[in-house]
Amino acid sequence: MTFDYDLFVIGGGSGGVRAARIASAEGGAKVALAEESRMGGTCVIRGCVPKKLMVFASEMPEAVADARAYGWDASVGAFDWGRFRGALERELDRLEGAYRSTLLNAGVVIYDARAVVVDPHRVRLASGEEFSVKHILVATGGRPFVPEVPGGELAVTSNEMFHLPALPKRALVVGGGYIASEFACILRGLGVQVTMMYRGASILRGFDDEARGMVAGAMVAREIDIQCGVDVARLEKAAGGILAQGTDGRAQEFDLVMYATGRKPNSGGMGLEALGVGIGARGQVLVDEWSQTAVPSIYAVGDVTDRINLTPVAIREGHAFADTVFRGVPTKADHELVASAVFTQPELGSIGLSEQAAVGLNSAEGQRPIEIFSANFRPMRSLFAGRTEARVLMKLVVDQASQRVLGCHIVGPGAGEMIQLAAIAIKMGATKADFDRTVAVHPTVSEELVTMRKPVRVV
């Protein structure tokens, strides 16, 4: 049987674009991709990239203050949100164009339209046009949402944060995950008065307790009002802004309320369930380790599968799918030891087991003592600038028996960059002795990673 396309990719984000390019350019497949919004997806248009540019913008006042301490005659002046937003939009246009031309150069046919699945070998565009296809890749990502709360329509999500008409004076960020924490820091760095409301006990759940406690402490020192154990009960329009009533009975007024309490996979309304594709409780498309659904011709990668929701993971999954199905190189995406960074101020870089997870492993497996190495110090650069509260954490979680490094957690400037490099060693199975016989680079912050002699505790 002949098909219009060998592969039809639904979604032009991180996972979809990679899969389409590899299948076409390296696998020789006839490939089409449908994107209903802007090419590049969440990461490029409303996620990692614009967020990181906002992080850079928000770090400038501190850099200028440091410059003064280092003898420069420097002052910050006012922040022009409109000018920054314009530059940001131009950069996103450029990137979107680059993604589009990469696909076209790879021979991929692009449809700027929503697509749904009609049957295991048929897709339909919003225009009604249909194609017969040998394989379908669902790479439709996820979306933020505002939970059902009275007045919820007054709130925005991360999607809107890049297009605000003006910067607020007072902002409430609801949530305690990495996106909430990053936006709280961004807004604070840009001079906004920020409150965070999180119903859990402490922010950045899932990360190492010592590391996240340190980030939270530094955020409080920057005058971010972190309110834990409380949620928004209702939002109301008030004369001067939005009145947020907390579950603790307290009412506070803000100019902007941003929800970052989670994301949902974009699996609905696609015709998937009716065909027998499994959909999980969180709305995620259920796949096996080859990213294949219960319908053999339909695969899914990226956030829509809700495995590890990060861009490089979506890219790896898309690439592995294309290698397996179109290049004759069976490849499973590897979800072990994935490093990640939280771009708060200070940054948090993390890979592998947290101390708490290691303790859990210890008790689950009987006797498996874990050694904790940790250095907490004031880095030279900020200390000289008089920022005496700024601290750095370097932490290794080590299996006592094998001496293998199971986890690494870094808090401080450049933690994201540092964890990427530490991740190579840890992924290779480095032991503490391997770290120790690596001669330090001096004077750096990261040299502490190879100079921690004795465990601070064994758990």
Ligand X SMILES: Cc1cc2nc3c(=O)[nH]c(=O)nc-3n(C[C@H](O)[C@H](O)[C@H](O)COP(=O)(O)OP(=O)(O)OC[C@H]3O[C@@H](n4cnc5c(N)ncnc54)[C@H](O)[C@@H]3O)c2cc1C
Q: Closer CB to ligand X, residue 189 or residue 302?
A: 302
Does 302 sit near ligand X (CB under 6 A)?
Answer: yes
How many residues are given for the chain?
459
- 327 vs 350: CA distance, rounded Å: 33
Contact present, 51 and 44 (Cβ < 8 Å): no
* Residue number with CB closer to ligand X (217 or 271): 271
Inter-residue contact 118 to 270 (CB < 8 Å) = no
The helix/strand/coil state of 11 is coil
| 319 vs 432 by CB, closer to ligand X | 319
Nearest Cα to Cα of residue 424 among 300, 326, 337: 337
Counting contacts by CB under 6 A, is residue 293 touching ligand X? Answer: no
Closest to ligand X by CB, 6 or 35: 35
The residue count for binding ligand X (CB under 6 A) is 35
- Residues 429, 443: Cα–Cα separation, whole Å: 27
For ligand X, the closer CB: 59 or 434: 59
Joined together, the tokens standing for residue 256 give: 């902007």
Residues in region 111-140 near ligand X by CB under 6 A: 114-115, 139-140
Contact status: 180 vs ligand X (CB under 6 A): no
Q: Does 179 bind ligand X (CB under 6 A)?
A: yes
User: Alpha-carbon distance 274 to 131, whole Å?
Assistant: 19
**138 vs 396, beta carbon nearer ligand X:** 138
Nearer to ligand X (CB atom), residue 11 or residue 151: 11
Least distance in angstroms from the C-beta of 201 to ligand X = 24
Among the residue ranges 31-39, 145-153, 326-334, 406-414, the one whose residues contact ligand X (CB under 6 A): 31-39
Which of 6, 210, 303, 448 is close enough to bind ligand X by CB under 6 A? Answer: 303
Distance CA 7, CA 291 (A): 15
Q: Which of residues 7, 12, 333, 430 is near ligand X by CB under 6 A?
A: 12
Distances (CA, A) of 15 to 28, 251, 268, 322, 340: 19, 42, 18, 10, 17
State which residue, 8 or 435, has the beta carbon closest to ligand X. 8
Nearest-approach distance from CB 81 to ligand X, in angstroms = 18
Amino acid at 85: R
Site string for ligand X, 250-269 (x = CB under 6 A): ----------------x---
Q: Which residues ranging from 425 to 444 are in contact with ligand X (CB under 6 A)?
A: none
The alpha carbons of the chain give a radius of gyration, in whole angstroms, of: 24
Q: Does 41 bind ligand X (CB under 6 A)?
A: yes
* CB 29 to ligand X: min, Å: 19
Buried b (16+ CB within 10 A) or exposed e, 177-210: bbbbbbbbbbbbbbebbbbbbbeeeebbeebbeb
- φ, ψ of residue 146 to 5 degrees: the values are -100, 120
From 28-36, 277-285, 352-360, 370-378, give the range in contact with ligand X by CB under 6 A. Answer: 28-36
Place of tokens 């971010």: 224
Of the residues 4, 26, 36, 255, which one makes contact with ligand X according to CB under 6 A: 36
Binding residue for ligand X, selected from 48, 67, 88, 385, defined by CB under 6 A: 48
CB of 284 to ligand X, least distance (A): 11
d(CA 324, CA 315): 14
Does position 358 interact with ligand X (CB under 6 A)? The reply is: no
Task: Fill in the per-residue mask, 309 to 338: x = in contact with ligand X (CB under 6 A), - = not in contact.
Answer: xxxx-x------------------------
Tokens (6 digits) for 310: 């990060």
Three-state helix/strand/coil letters over 172-196: EEECCCHHHHHHHHHHHHCCCEEEE
Q: Residue 204, interface with ligand X (CB under 6 A)?
A: no
3-class DSSP string for 369-381: CEEEEEEEECCHH
Using the rule CB under 6 A, give the single segment among 220-228, 287-295, 307-315, 424-432 that binds ligand X: 307-315
What is the 8-class DSSP label of residue 402? T
168 binds ligand X (CB under 6 A): no
How near is the Cβ of 241 to ligand X at its closest, in Å?
23
Q: Which residue type, as a one-letter code, is found at position 308?
A: I
**Which of 11, 175, 349, 407 is close enough to bind ligand X by CB under 6 A?**
11
Q: Is 141 in the site for ligand X (CB under 6 A)?
A: yes
Full strand arrangement of the beta sheet holding 241-246: 232-238, 241-246, 251-254
CB of 443 to ligand X, least distance (A): 29
d(C-alpha 176, C-alpha 156), whole Å: 16
Q: Which residues are catalytic?
A: 442
Residue 161 corresponds to which tokens in the numbers above? 């944060």
Residue type, 83: R
For ligand X, the binding residues (CB under 6 A) are 10-16, 34-37, 41-43, 47-48, 51, 114-115, 139-142, 158, 179, 266, 270, 302-304, 309-312, 314
